Amino acid sequence: MKRFLIGLLLLGLGGGAYHIGMARFGSGSPPSMVPVEQQADLIEVSKSQRTLTLARGGVPLATFKVVFGAAAEAGPKRQEGDERTPEGQYLIDWRNARSSAYLSLHISYPDARDLAEAQRRGVPPGGDIMIHGLPNGWGWLGPIHHLVDWTDGCIAVTNAEMREIWARVPNGTPIRIDP
């Protein structure tokens, strides 16, 4: 989050622009789930292509442009604070309608393999890896937020995109994050 805010200052986008679109998708209730036949049964993330695709029965439902942790290109997440995004097979295991970023879906990192590897190396694995929108109050940056990887290891989309993802992804949905 700090990197995101520092990036804003460097881009000269802070200050008076804060109010532009601040309320849009920044408050209120999360969207309702779409009918089951429109829900994803798999999320496929490609770090190299910078995409997140929702699929059902092997058929893509929607694809979104995403950003990752600030050190995502350095490989998979290995420990707390490395600003890397995990790679591998996980699940969406819970959701948060009141997170510090607009809506969030929790990714089940670290799994047993990640925990064992971190323990072997003597480091904490980190956690709280989410798919989420923009930090609350900063939704107006949606059109340009993808210019730099700014999360601490999460996968970020615009707030409007997060509403669609939230409505199409039930808890328990598998997510595959590829390099």
Residues for the chain: how many in total? 179
- Give the pLDDT of residue 147: 86
Q: What backbone phi and psi angles, to 5 degrees, belong to 145?
A: -60, -20
Task: List, for residues 61-103, the tens digit of each pLDDT value.
Answer: 999 999 999 887 888 999 999 999 999 999 999 999 999 999 9
User: Considering its fold, how many domains does the chain have in total?
Assistant: 1
- Give the pLDDT of residue 159: 95
Which has the closest alpha carbon to 65: 157, 164, 142, 172? 157
Extract long-range pairs of 113-119: CB within 8 Å, 24+ residues apart: 113/88, 114/77, 114/86, 114/88, 117/78, 118/78, 118/79
- Give the pLDDT of residue 142: 74
Task: Report the SS3 class of residue 4.
Answer: helix
Parent domain of 110: 2-178
- Give the pLDDT of residue 117: 94
CATH (domain of 144):
2.40.440.10
CA distance 164 to 35: 13
**Regions of the chain where pLDDT drops below 70:** 1-28
- Give the pLDDT of residue 58: 97
- Give the pLDDT of residue 25: 47
pTM of the predicted model, to two decimals?
0.84
